Amino acid sequence: MKRLLLKIISLFLIAELIILLTACAKKENTGTGYLFTCTLSGNPQCIDPQYTDNENAETVIANIMEGLLQLDAYGRIVLAGAESYQISEDGLTYEFKLRNDCYWYHAGMEDKDAKPVTSKDYVFAFRRLLDPDTHAPHANDFLCIQNASDVLAGKQKTEKLGVSAPNGATVVFKLEYPNEEFLLLLTQNCAVPCNEDFFISTRGRYGLSDDTILCNGAFYLTKWLYDDYASGNFLTFRKNSLYHDADQIAPSSLQFNIMRSQSEVDEEFSSKNSDCIFTTTYPITYLNSSNYTVITNSVRTWGLIFNPENETLKNNQLRQALAKGINRETLSEHMNQNFKTAYGIIPPAVQILGRSYRELYADEPLVIPYEPAEAGELFDKISLPMNAVNALKILIPDSFDSKETILAICQEWQTIFGQYIGIESVSYSEYQQRLTDGDYSIALYSFKPECNSCENILQQISEQSKFLGLNSQEFRQLLNSFSDYELLTDKFKLYGEAEQIILNQHVFIPLFYQNSYLIHASNNKDIWFNPFSKAIYFQKAKHFS
């Protein structure tokens, strides 16, 4: 009897243990409470959202700050610091109602001392953004706001900017003209709020250290250690318990280790010292492994530009002949898998109406087709000094990892024209300096939109018209006409027309779309990134051991 009783008790204890272990397993399988580690290719330097243009800073800001709206993992615009918004029928007024549970917080603050985020914080942020003294790199994106152009030009005071706070919980934007992409613009890091009192208290050091930044996002910065002469530099973050959606924030904390180069970042990830990596290098090792998840986007367009001050290349017929002498069908034979053939300028990663713009507006009909016979005839009609073409070279950065394709183009040109244009590969720093100094004849050059916007990349080209030698009143008029159309369905064909104008002037000859990649181990889920800003988001990230 005693033995039977002991056996029953043992079975009961075993059953309890099984239940307990099952409960623990369920808890572990939620994937929450993990410390995620990420590596940055350099020091963020400054995490002032209105001022910085540092790619490493983008990831930091994306995890510690939020604006009125944000993008989710699928690229959809969702509410963040705003609980609702409405747009006037004429598309000129946007009114946002703020959540009442958003707070400013930093590591040295007691919970009870946290102050709410108010509409004045947004007004101050946008006045800083458009203030010419700020030198904000993304200010031009917001020229649709009333008086923004005059404010940025110093013709009007920032108080005249069309952003107001009728009360502590309402932000109103008045626009000069309807802009269907305005909501998308508000998802950028530079559109997050800024507390004026705290900003003033930092005495010009806002965003330069862990004690001069105020956070209103899912995490807050606890430590920023960086020494130019030492290794082991890092930033650490903790989950913000005051965040309005704190229950849905999966990680307990984050650590961003600061490296000195992309190669060091790659090494850290391959050694499993970090949980994810953003890279533009073709990740064949990870693509062939079921242990990793690879997310791919084609976000950058590479092509050839011509020095507008070069006497030989000022000849449009010569540029046209060179364009007709490029066989894109054979380029893929020499191209590594990190690239694909480009015919247009706007890269496939840009979406419009929920689809890739390149699906809606095919790029292949845009570019001048490969016509070697016509290219040769056109070249023979041009009166050029002897060996003028032989003196030309294509300047490329030595980091470009598909040099064989450029060599193939040069060899094709030699076959067609009987003259050889060589390649000059230099360090990236020298490459940039020589472009700035105008010390080149032909150069491999790229464009990448700063956000998910066709207009953004076309505006970049407009701003570089002199550098490119683009002299087209038709192009300028077309860009100015975008504001006359409220709907993207009316505008997307105009984007293709703008591309065609650029290509017809032969100032940029597109060659490749380059991929970028977010890679993480397969047991990590819901890490996502913005391919345009390169920001990596960890708010929903989960780890399953």
Which DSSP helix (H) or strand (E) runs through 383? none
Q: Is the domain of 367 the same as that of 425?
A: yes
How much is the mean pLDDT over the chain?
91
Q: Token pair 């015919």 is at which residue?
A: 343
Residue 290 resides in a domain? no
Name the token pair of 423: 């390649």
d(CA 497, CA 383): 32
Of 149-163, 280-294, 477-491, which range is least confident?
477-491
Q: Is the domain of 224 the same as that of 310?
A: no
Name the token pair of 315: 């000849």
Confidence of residue 97 (pLDDT cuts 50, 70, 90): very high
Strands 422-426, 442-447: pairing is: unpaired
Give pLDDT tens digits for 241-263: 999 999 999 999 999 999 999 89
Cβ atoms of 299 and 448 closer than 8 Å:
yes
Give pLDDT tens digits for 518-530: 999 999 999 999 9
Domain boundaries, position 54: 35-275+527-543
Q: Kindly report the CA angle at 374 between 372 and 375, in degrees rounded to 5?
A: 60
CATH number, domain containing residue 435: 3.10.105.10
CATH number, domain containing residue 56: 3.40.190.10
Name the token pair of 327: 């066989």
Cβ atoms of 94 and 85 closer than 8 Å:
yes
What percent of the chain is modeled with pLDDT above 70?
94
Which DSSP helix (H) or strand (E) runs through 16? helix 2-28
d(CA 432, CA 459): 21
Residue 5 resides in a domain? no
Residue 475 resides in a domain? yes
Name the token pair of 44: 């963020």
Number of neighbours of residue 24 by Cβ within 10 angstroms: 10
d(CA 257, CA 42): 9
Domain count along the chain: 2
Q: Is the domain of 370 the same as that of 434?
A: yes
pLDDT for 5: 40
d(CA 230, CA 44): 16
Residue 144 resides in a domain? yes
d(CA 539, CA 89): 35
Q: Is the domain of 304 the same as that of 237?
A: no
pLDDT for 9: 37
- What mean pLDDT comes out for the span 457-465? 93
Residue 12 resides in a domain? no
- What mean pLDDT comes out for the span 17-24? 41
d(CA 69, CA 49): 15
Q: Is the domain of 448 the same as that of 509?
A: yes
d(CA 54, CA 61): 11
Residue 23 resides in a domain? no
Q: Is the domain of 482 the same as that of 535?
A: no
Q: Which of 360, 355, 344 is nearest to 301 (CA)?
A: 344
- What mean pLDDT comes out for the span 409-434? 95
Residue 20 resides in a domain? no
- What mean pLDDT comes out for the span 191-214? 96
Residue 7 resides in a domain? no
- What mean pLDDT comes out for the span 428-449? 96
Q: Is the domain of 461 the same as that of 411?
A: yes
Name 423's bridge partners. 394
Of 6-15, 150-159, 255-264, 525-534, which range is least confident?
6-15
Give pLDDT tens digits for 325-341: 999 988 888 888 889 99
d(CA 385, CA 102): 69
Q: Is the domain of 196 the same as that of 134?
A: yes
Q: Is the domain of 255 the same as that of 226?
A: yes
Is pLDDT at 11 greater than 70 in this prediction?
Answer: no
Give pLDDT tens digits for 53-90: 899 999 999 999 999 999 988 888 999 999 999 999 99
Q: Is the domain of 404 the same as that of 255?
A: no
Cβ atoms of 475 and 498 closer than 8 Å:
yes
d(CA 70, CA 78): 6
Q: Is the domain of 486 the same as that of 420?
A: yes
Q: Is the domain of 188 the same as that of 334?
A: no
526 exposure class (CB count in 10 Å sphere: 0-12, 13-18, 19+): middle
Q: φ, ψ for residue 458 (rounded to 5)?
A: -70, -35
Instruction: Say whether 310 sits in a helix, a strand or coil.
Output: coil
d(CA 22, CA 86): 48
